[in-house]
Structure 1
């Protein structure tokens, strides 16, 4: 019932784990697997059992959350890390909508000696009909970053939150020798040019992208509707795809595919 009710959307506000770091700067994490660079918070309040599986009940205890790096939470492509384990169970329910079988889903965070932040987690998933019987090992780390698993301190260099949008705007205008307003006008004649002008249409709390346009997040997923367009890069879908971004497979209360 919880899986059907959640419909793949967020069911509450993540709770703070008992060992949540005192600082959580925005950093750059470069992924060798995808060739992309993530710009955002190093640490996430990571579900042990996600809301897409447990619904609102996943927010009833801080013990269901651990301090996880961004890669631990969703991997290098938004479909890895803990998200991969969740999608394994989600795919089973989607393929067996009327089944009376059940899934046993258990996450065990792994701590080294007296450290307060887990080095990783083991997710055991087993369906009662035997279709799924697997264990997923998820490492709690980030490429190129050293982490103190007692305090959360790390050697990552903090970045400004607007770095991705600003750098893209700079590349667009400098390549054509235009200022920002001229660069935006040039976008009308060049479908692949990037733009930071959010000219979508308002519909209630949502801003809807124009035909052929999308909102791209710092994690290289793009959406057609968002609640806060300033948090995204507004560009043509073809430009988003050429830069390696992909359409998000599901939405939440902030963005819709």
Structure 2
């Protein structure tokens, strides 16, 4: 997909990776709707602030009406509550699933017809290495991202006849607020991740693996747990 003159909607664009994605899209000549639950927190020159809460159906419908010229959707908004599945608070588990799975699903359902009407385009889902690696302490996040990976594959097949490509971005720790407690040497620069993601969209890649940890885990999927 050519990003110059594209019209992008980036969820969670007020900080972290989302802000880098929005900023680099602007630098490439795209129009950018910088979506956030609180649009007043968007401080990116040139971007169009857009109220969008991925857990609020009316907010999503309103955003799709406003950004009626969209050709690229970036499902970036997400949360991590560090909740285990069995011992953790069930409401927190549900919140992770609502935000990290049902949120991108609802936003994609709202914007796919918009993108199709505008001649087709692309969807990028920001996932995680934990789509494939499932540590107990982050069970809720891993389960939601695994479900979002399945969503990405199914949506790719469903939207292909409508001229819409669907890509997944997988990444381990980034230097963002979500990973503030992680030592800096273990974290990737989110600006670099954003650049890789946009190059992947331009190349039509179905999966973009943004760091060596993610590439190693993906290569290891064929090995069953507990086997040589």
Same fold, judged at TM 0.5 (above)? no
Larger RCO, structure (CA 8 Å, separation 6 or more): 2
Structure with a larger share of its residues in helix: 2
TM-score w.r.t. length of structure 1: 0.23
Structure with a larger share of its residues in strand: 1
